[in-house]
Amino acid sequence: MGELRLMKGNEALAEAAIRAGMDAYFGYPITPQSEVLEYLTREAYRRTECTILQAESEIASINMVYGAAGAGARVMTSSSSPGISLMQEGISYIAGAELPCLLVNVNRGGPGLGTIQPSQGDYFQSVKGGGHGDYRLIVLAPATVQEMADFVQEGWDLADKYRNPVLILTDGALGQMMEKVDLRPQVDRKAHDAPGWATTGKTGDRERNIITSLFIKPEEMEQVNLRLQEKYRLIEKNEIRVQEINTEDADFIIVAYGLSARIGRKVMELLRDEGMKVGLIRPITLWPYPYETISKAAEHVKGFLALEMNAGQMVEDVRLAVNGRCPVGHYGRMGGIIPSPEEVVDEIKTMYSKIQ
Amino acid sequence: MEHNMQEIEHHYDEMEIICERPATLLDARMHYCPGCGHGVAHRILMEAVEELGIQEQTIGVAPVGCSVFAYHYMNIDMQEAAHGRATAVATGIKRCYPDKYVFTYQGDGDLAAIGTGETVHTVNRGENVLIVFINNAIYGMTGGQMAPTTLISQKTSTTPYGREVPFMGNPLKITELLAQLPGAFYVTRQAVNTPANVRKAKKALLNGLKWQALKKGTCFVEIVSNCPTNWGMKPVESNQWLEENMLPYYPLGDMKVPSKEELENG
Amino acid sequence: MAKIRGDVKIDIEKCKGCELCVVACPQDALTLSNEINKQGYHYALLVEDVCNGCKSCALVCPDAVITVYREDRSGKKTPVAEVRNVTGDITIKVGAEDAAN
């Protein structure tokens, strides 16, 4: 039923958005993800008459997303690290107002203006908050162009299910690389009504709907927070996604997501060829994080290596899961440099020899 | 004037109501200070919604500022926006629901300081929304700091010696700036300090709402208003101060008005 | 005797005693009561029987606490302005008095 195409990651994501019945996209150009906006301005309106608007800034974009989401539309935005930083206030508001929407961060090197090359330096920002307050984003980390496409519909479905923003955390390399992708059929975006809580105009049969994240009485604000936390516990229980490769007999495990997982897989193969029993755990949801999976593995492995293109962010979550039972190392390159499998192989051999 | 403080005898049953609180204004006590122009602006805006019969199709966007709780008073679907971003939020709503009536209601900090970018670009794109701009030359909610529209020499909590041009620039006439944009369909400045001005302001809001249906651009209604508390005056005094000090700098009237032809061709 | 007789009803619990109506009234018929409401405000009070229903007080009231009544002793009923839907023809029914407003 699908359609097979060779596509660039950013464009596959955009195409998937059209097919998933997107109602609106608001975004601002920034390398390395401008193709998302460009593709949508070329393709989207003529196919589904959805709204595609280049806003004046990322701040304007995220607030347009808030407005549209509050009115019940299936809406998304995309940006890259500095732009995502600008959006943090808006994202906090969206989470606080419990609105569904899809966000995409095509992570580039930072901090600051940084570089346009890929990086995974936004892990903390994505899963530990980013914006102010006690909220969580559901974070999906694709590792292939196919997943760049698949996670769009799945992201929106999760967003709608939990009334929570969902972030696809990808990077400049995945955004630019071209791979085969099997595209889902077109969903009729007009086929569903806006949810009952949306601001579509107060009809006589109901009270007015208010979309807000302002609860000035502390007693009320606490209740809202408790409700959010309840929601997050439910998501943690039900929505963890993780891939394990060769972990059953492994005595050393690489933990990596996204682009790093592809490198990690190659590293695992190279080491297996040399007789080392190495496995890979690939978190697909970065929040909720697969602590359980890593913790179980910690029962029988001698060490872990968190492989990520940053100074050491996800490694902290690995250490939390391992809880001191064995050494957890980190290897990462920063500034937009992608580690080679060989250098990671060396790193693991060094670490492994110290553990023995 | 000396009054005999005896309430007159009422005979309401012998009379007809010719003016009352609109049903689109909820039966809640508004938290605004006594005499504050926000109350009047809320009332005439909701009267306009009621008179046009568009309560079921109207979505309002509340700002950050004294009127952050506007949604507790206006009986319509509303969204609370982040500070300055109401016009972006309104854009998001209106683009997805082009046939609904969407308005923002913003103060001088929201619209002309932090939100300047969104304000300018929303009007420049000609979004078919109504922007209601309450200009009282001060930041009320946060305790009386300088606003972009604070007058020269006006004392505020952050200009305790009066606003000085070499240091803080001139008061910003944002409405005049916006009126120059082709995307602006109707731009006017009104006030609510006298009965006559209230009538005119309401007329402006009626037009600003109903002309949305023409889809010909942004309607922008500034309402010069008072802030008795932060100006340090009683309400009656504050309206006098408004007339003597604000109106000369922010003159009332239409800055951009659609032509008869523009109004006729739907 | 005035041909047009008016009256106002003030929601005294919502009134904040801002005095704007007192100043707006061209007949000087309103003042602030010596009594206070539950919020502690001296609420507005109609103390002179000269109201002609001009609505000036209700127009300036920031809390929408004033309902204005009018009785036209000449016998004609004073209708309320009516505006129908905005995409169709706009029909406004007015009486002679309203046209003067």
The residue type of A238 is N
Q: Name the band, by pLDDT with cuts 50, 70 and 90, for residue B266.
A: low
CA dist B21 and B170 (Å) reads: 39
Dihedral of CA atoms A34, A36, A38, A39 in degrees, nearest 10, equals 150
Share of chain A above pLDDT 70, in %: 100
B234 vs chain C: nearest CA distance in angstroms? 8
Is residue B222 helix, strand or coil?
strand
Give pLDDT, residue A2: 77
**Which residues share a beta bridge with A331?**
A307
Nearest alpha carbon to residue A97 among A214, A239, A230, A216 = A214
Chain B residues within 8 angstroms (CB to CB) of chain A = 55-59, 61-62, 68, 71, 74-82, 85, 88-93, 95-97, 100, 117-118, 120-121
Q: Does the beta-carbon distance from C19 to B234 stay under 8 Å?
A: yes
CA atoms of B251 and C21, how far apart (whole Å): 24
Cα B63 from Cα B84, distance rounded (Å):
7
Preferred mutation among B15, B42, B190 to probe C, highest tally of C CBs within 10 A: B15
Q: Which residue has the higher pLDDT, A170 or C93?
A: A170
The set of chains that have 3 or more CB pairs under 8 A with C is B
Mean pLDDT, rounded, of chain A: 97
ipTM above 0.90, yes or no: yes
Please indicate if any CB of chain B lies within 8 Å of the CB of C85: yes
CA A187 vs CA A74, A192, B131: distances in Å:
12, 10, 35
Kindly determine whether residue A60 and residue B118, on different chains, have CB atoms separated by under 8 Å.
Answer: yes
What confidence score (pLDDT) does residue C97 get?
A: 46
Q: Kindly report the pTM of this predicted structure.
A: 0.92
Write down the residue that tokens 């694709």 correspond to: A142
d(CA A96, CA A90): 10
Report residue A317 as tokens.
């979550």
Cis peptide before A111 (omega within 30 of 0): yes
Q: Does A56 touch chain B (CB under 8 A)?
A: yes
Instruction: Report whether pLDDT(A280) > 60.
Output: yes
DSSP 8-state symbol, A243: E
Residue C101 buriedness (CB in 10 A; 0-12 / 13-18 / 19+)? exposed
**What's residue C91's pLDDT?**
55
Per-residue pLDDT for A148 more than 80?
yes
Q: Give the closest-approach CA distance of C1 to chain B in angstroms.
A: 17
Q: What is the DSSP string of A134-149?
A: S---EEE---SHHHHH
Q: For the segment A58-112, what is each residue's pLDDT rounded down to a tens digit?
A: 999 999 999 999 999 999 999 999 999 999 999 999 999 999 999 999 999 999 9
pLDDT of residue C81: 52
| Dihedral (Cα; A261, A264, A265, A269), 10-degree rounding | 180
Confidence of residue C99 (pLDDT cuts 50, 70, 90): very low
Structural tokens at position C91: 């029909």
* DSSP sequence for A94-121: HHHTT--EEEEEEEBS-STT--SSB--T
Mean pLDDT value across residues A167-191: 96
pLDDT band at C74 (very low <50, low <70, confident <90, very high): low
Chains B and C: how many Cβ contacts under 8 Å?
136
Taking each helix axis as running N to C, give the angle between helix A9-19 and helix A34-48, from 0 to 180 degrees, rounded to the nearest 10.
Answer: 30
Which pLDDT value is given to residue C101? 44
- Contact by Cβ (8 Å): B205, B132: yes
Contacts of B16 (CB under 8 A, 6+ apart): C69, C70, C71, C77, C78
Average pLDDT over residues B41-68: 98
Tell me how long chain A is. 356
β-pairing, A3-8 vs A178-183, is antiparallel
Q: Please tell me the distance from the alpha carbon of residue A127 to that of residue A225, in angstroms, as a whole number.
A: 18
CA angle A317, A321, A322 (to 5 degrees): 115
The answer to whether the peptide bond before residue A165 is cis (omega within 30 degrees of 0) is no
Could you report the per-residue pLDDT of A182-191, keeping only the tens digit for each? 999 999 999 8
What is the mean predicted confidence (pLDDT) over B125-153? 97
Residue type for B113, please? A
Report the share of chain A in percent with pLDDT over 90: 98
Under the banding of pLDDT at 50, 70 and 90, the label for residue B1 is low
pLDDT digits (tens, 9 = 90+) for A207-256: 999 999 999 999 999 999 999 999 999 999 999 999 999 999 999 999 99
Q: Which residues of B touch C60 (CB under 8 A)?
A: 40, 192-195, 198
- Residues in chain C closer than 8 A to B198 (CB atoms): 59-60
Does residue C10 surpass a pLDDT of 70?
Answer: yes
Instruction: State chain C's maximal CA–CA distance in angstroms.
Output: 51
Q: What would the mean pLDDT of A23-34 be, rounded to a whole number?
A: 96
> pLDDT tier at C96 (50, 70, 90 boundaries)?
very low
pLDDT tens per residue across span A311-335: 999 999 999 999 999 999 999 999 9
C48:B3 CB<8 A: yes
Q: What distance in Å separates the CA atoms of residue C8 and residue A19, rounded to the nearest whole number?
A: 61
Distance CA C77, CA B29 (A): 33
